[in-house]
Structure 1
């Protein structure tokens, strides 16, 4: 059957409708942030829409001001300029992302590494990209290592122990989705879909009791679809996909923007995309990056160990075909 006319469906086991505000109708907000687009869909009143528009923008500005490498005076940029060993006091949001980043680095054996910033630049993907000369093996060893980041959770401060460069690009967008969703709930809005650059979180349902449907169609470097599209019901859950959409050409070869911390080079493991479901979009975002780096079977083994719904899409260039690996929890959702 043609994959364009067939969709697989993944549904959580317990979709429970939430009460709708009186006079609620679908409200849509949208804009630009972090070099990409964002949108919020929720059921509420027109008056709530104006209030939420300002509140959402404050959330997005907060994340940019704390975690954007493209902002010279952001907290993360200031930390990267400080001499190693110097503590930086951090806000609660930065603290939460640091905590999650280091925990996920441990859980994934360092395939997610928040200190990959210098290597990202050297390969031409960062704000100070100087990718004319890829890093040597010696430079790679000196310029990366999540254990070189020390986090004082009690004092809410962080410091680098070596000249590594902190980079939250693989987790901050997901955190921003969570922050916006939390803001909606604080305003009494519990039926919503939040999206930032393809990372999504869904809460509640639509008025007819149906969930928020999200289609996952990861494309490879040539723009082809690697198999039947996947339709997922987002209900009190989030989804993030890490893929090969961004790349640079070097010697006629397309190189992925995802860097393998172990080699210091763009990944070359046949993985086209990794999609992760989680209650936290921040966690889904980081795990998706980690699973892009891992060998496919290792990624599924890790996902099964952590009981995460995951789908890994692969490309076999020798046979000009694609395939996929699915974690046990995801397989149950598709059954």
Structure 2
């Protein structure tokens, strides 16, 4: 693939963006002054459209929806991107003991979230039991080269907690293939950076807290060069019933929304796909178990909780190290 860059030319900061997956995407990149960015924008949008075509629960013709409706016991051939995401999803599901689970589609719909979910509400016990009775991640079998996934019957995949992160990684790869080594990419709040700005300074991002209105936490800034950051928590999707707050993040092991979910859980990793999925897993685990998991696995993680006393944060040692970098 041809390169847009000519090393001898001065680089300038450019910004591209658009919409995808029900949210927005953007990228800041260092490119030669005056270069035509339209072909690059089209390439990045087409890359995101490919992710949607393969893994969206909202597109009836997507490869994911095809799998969800496949006959029990059938092996379904997956496109490469879909297969890559499933391999990572199953790896993190196993490591987290099912705190992250790509088969939560029926559960999400039962609570009224996601495609076909309608209005968020407490499901009838029978509907919840039916969703919970479906086969889960441990019943999935993934074969590689080419990717093939066994549909054991009635499995409803939902990759919303990992696909945006993967899309971020793909955009960076697409830019790299065009000779653009310095970029900061964001899709729906998940970020990854490589290289630096045209002036030689790092790509720096402010970590979300989920409690910005309180202003009682110090700002946490990360430099992203070969790193990605994702944040999960109850701030973004939730509903209330009889004074009780129900989060959009579910504990697949219980079938219930996460209770007392952290306002924000941030994970930094080498890929946005890993960061995205791990942030969800740690949110499900809760602060104490999640921080212990992060410490054991060497994850850079930050938990922000909220109480009447205000916002509080707890960080893994690896996260603290990155703040000092």
Instruction: Give the TM-score normalised by the residue count of structure 2.
Output: 0.91
Alignment match of 1:184 (pick from 165, 168, 175): 175
Q: 1:81 aligned to 2:53?
A: no
Q: 1:53 aligned to 2:41?
A: yes
Alignment match of 2:258 (pick from 267, 292, 296): 267
- The equivalent of 1:14 in structure 2 is none
Structure 2, unaligned runs of 5 or more: 1-5
Alignment match of 1:252 (pick from 223, 243, 254): 243
- The equivalent of 1:104 in structure 2 is 92
Q: 1:289 aligned to 2:280?
A: yes
- The equivalent of 1:145 in structure 2 is 136
| Shift in Å, 1:255 | 1.2
1:127 aligned counterpart, secondary structure: coil
Alignment match of 1:35 (pick from 15, 22, 43): 22
Asked which structure has the greater RCO (Cα within 8 Å, sep 6+), the reply is 1
Query: CA 1:248–1:320 in structure 2 vs 1: closer, same or farther (change >3 Å)?
Result: same
CA distance in 2, matches of 1:282, 1:33: 16
| Shift in Å, 1:126 | 1.1
Alignment match of 2:219 (pick from 208, 211, 229): 229
Q: Is the 8 A contact 1:116 1:144 kept in 2?
A: no
Query: CA 1:123–1:225 in structure 2 vs 1: closer, same or farther (change >3 Å)?
Result: farther
Q: Deviations over 1:52-88 (max 9, x none)?
A: 1111011010000000000000000111111221221
| Shift in Å, 1:148 | 2.2
* Worse-superposed segment, 303-312 or 245-254: 245-254
Query: CA 1:217–1:142 in structure 2 vs 1: closer, same or farther (change >3 Å)?
Result: same
Q: Is the 8 A contact 2:24 2:188 kept in 1?
A: yes
Q: Is the 8 A contact 2:210 2:304 kept in 1?
A: no
- The equivalent of 1:16 in structure 2 is none
- The equivalent of 1:118 in structure 2 is 106
CA distance in 2, matches of 1:286, 1:270: 16
| Shift in Å, 1:151 | 1.0
Q: How many residues align?
A: 314
- The equivalent of 1:9 in structure 2 is none
| Shift in Å, 1:190 | 0.5
CA distance in 2, matches of 1:267, 1:216: 22
| Shift in Å, 1:162 | 3.3
Q: 1:165 aligned to 2:156?
A: yes
1:254 aligned counterpart, secondary structure: strand
Alignment RMSD: 1.9
Q: Deviations over 1:258-298 (max 9, x none)?
A: 01111111100341111011110000000000011002111
2:133 aligned counterpart, secondary structure: helix
1:274 aligned counterpart, secondary structure: strand
Structure 1, unaligned runs of 5 or more: 1-18
Instruction: Give the TM-score normalised by the residue count of structure 1.
Output: 0.88
Query: CA 1:313–1:22 in structure 2 vs 1: closer, same or farther (change >3 Å)?
Result: same
CA distance in 2, matches of 1:85, 1:127: 25
- The equivalent of 2:291 in structure 1 is 300
1:51 aligned counterpart, secondary structure: helix
2:37 aligned counterpart, secondary structure: helix
- The equivalent of 1:324 in structure 2 is 313
Query: CA 1:40–1:258 in structure 2 vs 1: closer, same or farther (change >3 Å)?
Result: same
Query: CA 1:314–1:20 in structure 2 vs 1: closer, same or farther (change >3 Å)?
Result: farther
Q: 1:69 aligned to 2:57?
A: yes
1:43 aligned counterpart, secondary structure: strand
